[in-house]
């Protein structure tokens, strides 16, 4: 009889496309890592707030805040590295889906922080997902970048045409 997989070790379908190694190696690392990717954070959430919530699950080795690669300001994600896998598993069980700064926090296994990954990968410097968002989200800095650009272009065209 096979043992059931607990939700703490189940892997999401997301994989870091910039991972240096094979897909099989990435899967193996994800099953043993003690590092979590934390997403859907407010741009105003502080490292101290993250520490306060995530330390309830165990001792944190370090927190790496996600930053806009041009402005060097927070852009809605971070990495939380625990000393032990079991603490990260508890975090996946109990913190994933809870609220922090009026936002539902999303956690996922990460193959381990590598310098440079703290910067957003979007064209504008932030996260790619924020460029395509169409709704207004004050916690993430307003409208998505593409919507802001479309609005600016529309306004410029109206001014240019004399309306």
Q: What is the pLDDT of residues 71-107, one digit of tens each?
A: 888 888 999 999 999 999 999 999 999 999 999 999 9
Mean pLDDT along residues 8-13: 67
Which pLDDT score is estimated for 118?
Answer: 78
Average pLDDT over residues 35-43: 93
Distance separating alpha carbons of residues 108 and 99, to the nearest angstrom = 16
46-55: b or e for each residue (b if 16 or more CB lie within 10 Å)?
Answer: eeeebeebbe
Residue range 97-123: mean pLDDT, rounded? 85
The domain limits of the chain are 23-120
The per-residue pLDDT for 6 is 46
- Segment 124-151 mean pLDDT: 55
Mean pLDDT along residues 1-21: 62
CATH of domain 23-120: 3.30.70.330
* pTM score of the predicted model: 0.70
Given phi > 0 = left and psi -120 to 50 = alpha, else beta, which region is 58? left
């Amino acid at each position: 009889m096979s043992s059931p997989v607990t939700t703490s070790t189940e892997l999401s379908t997301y994989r870091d496309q910039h991972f240096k190694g094979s897909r099989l190696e990435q899967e193996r690392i994800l099953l043993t890592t003690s590092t979590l990717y934390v997403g859907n954070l407010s741009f105003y959430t502080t490292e101290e707030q993250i520490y306060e919530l995530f330390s309830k699950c165990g001792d944190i080795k370090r927190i790496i805040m996600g930053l806009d690669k041009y402005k060097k300001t927070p852009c809605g994600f971070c990495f939380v590295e625990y000393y032990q896998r079991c603490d990260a598993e508890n975090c996946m069980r109990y913190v994933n889906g809870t609220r922090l700064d009026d936002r539902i926090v999303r956690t996922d296994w990460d193959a381990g922080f590598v310098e440079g990954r703290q910067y957003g990968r979007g064209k504008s410097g932030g996260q790619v997902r924020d460029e395509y968002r169409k709704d207004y989200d004050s916690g993430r800095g307003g409208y998505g970048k593409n919507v802001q650009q479309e609005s600016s272009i529309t306004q410029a065209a109206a001014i240019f045409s004399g309306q």
